[in-house]
Chain A
Amino acid sequence: MIRIECPWCGPRSEAEFTCGGQSHIVRPADPAAVSDREWAQYLYQRDNPKGLHYERWRHTFGCRQWFNVARDTVTHEIRAVYRMTDLKPAPGGEGV
């Protein structure tokens, strides 16, 4: 079980959270203008990295807020926690 530093509530047990999968997926600005293929990519294609993964989590049994987590999928180490509106921290950059 991992512990997650909720930006609003502090460190809590994983049991309180829900993982929402990969973060930083951009919704096409004009969905009607994209091809079927591009729309399917947006809907379903996800990274499956061994190592650093940027994903979003919700503190479901807490403040119910979404936030981003940079987590190592091999070690489960959480390298950064940042808000939904923050930019994605670069791998190896500050805090990651």
Chain B
Amino acid sequence: MVITRPSYRNVATPLTREVILHLRAGEWISLSGEMYLARDATMFSIIEELERTGEAPFVLQGAVIFHAGPAPPLPGKTVGAVGPTTSARVDRFLEPLLERGVAATVGKGDRTLEGRKLHVRYGSLYLVACGGAAAYLTNFVAEMEVLAYPNLGPQALRRIIVESFPLLVGYDTVGGNIFQRKNPELRKYM
């Protein structure tokens, strides 16, 4: 059996405006560089800190935020199993982050209508990682460290360094949306 795979475009962080504008929904990218892990409780803490101090624990301008909560690393390793969580759940926290220049969010599943509109309005990408494939995806993660909120356990804010991490462009900056490409009957739900 012949295993054919799609071609991947190599992309590095920080994501430049030019790269962001050129990527299109449905395109696979191989991302190298830096991402920040933040999911439900992490997002709640970041927003709370933003409101209280006016600053986040990391530079939001140009950042890539990955909605994920990793497993603890195996002994002798620094990287724990990591994969995306459902992104729609954190859409309620999105606007203050995107308006401060977050370049892309990474997760799985379609977003809420509001979440999708916000990505288009602020010219940010939504990148989709394959859910339920942590052992595979963790291969592409070189480093992982806790930056803030260690009391949140798996939901602590982490910085990771990835090498050729596989991601599908879910929403692009011109309104392209992989989740309704083939299923027009789903539009009324989106």
Partners in one complex: no
Chain A: residues with CB nearer than 8 A to chain B?
none
